[in-house]
Amino acid sequence: MRQMGTAGGGAQTGSQKVAALAFRDDLLAALPALRSYAMLLAGNAARADDLVQEVLLKAWSNQHRFVPGSNLNAWLFCCCPLKTGHGLLG
Amino acid at 8: G
* CB-CB neighbours of 88 under 10 Å: 19
Query: How much is the pLDDT for 11?
Result: 73
The structural domains of the chain, with segments of one domain joined by +, span: 14-78
Is 5 exposed, middle or buried (CB count within 10 Å of its CB: 0-12, 13-18, 19+)? exposed
List pLDDT tens digits, range 40-88: 988 889 999 999 999 999 999 999 999 988 999 999 988 877 653 444 5
Domain 14-78 has CATH 1.10.10.10: no
Secondary-structure breakdown of the chain: helix, strand, coil percentages, each rounded to the nearest 5:
60, 0, 40
Query: How much is the pLDDT for 41?
Result: 87
Query: How much is the pLDDT for 16?
Result: 87
